Amino acid sequence: MASATELTNLWDLTKKLLFLSHGQASVEHGFSINKEISVENMAEQTLIAQRVIKDHLVNVGGITKVLLSKGLLASASSARQRYQTYLDEEKEGRWSKGEGRKGQQSLMN
């Protein structure tokens, strides 16, 4: 079709049609990734963190090409301690709001 002179206009139109977007493939791909990495009762922060990690792995070209800097290794080694601090702060927050006292009072009665 490209070499026939009488079909030049048709060939130009065909090329332009092929350049048009074919829908929301990138958005739909994001949804399928979310479905792939999520499980029931997963917290929103966890889902976001997993998406950030997945996107980074795709951008650098795979898990073997991730740069393991000293900062990253230090952050990973202290992650459990930071999580425990977060849980303690959440527990303190509930206790100061009175939720902890209600539970304790019902146990005493």
The pTM of the full predicted model, rounded to 2 decimals, is 0.42
Q: What angle do CA 97, 100, 40 make, to 5 degrees?
A: 95
Instruction: Give residue-wise pLDDT tens across range 20-52.
Output: 766 666 656 666 766 666 666 667 788 788 888
pLDDT at 65: 93
Phi/psi of residue 41, each to 5°? 60, 25
Instruction: Give residue-wise pLDDT tens across range 96-107.
Output: 777 655 555 545
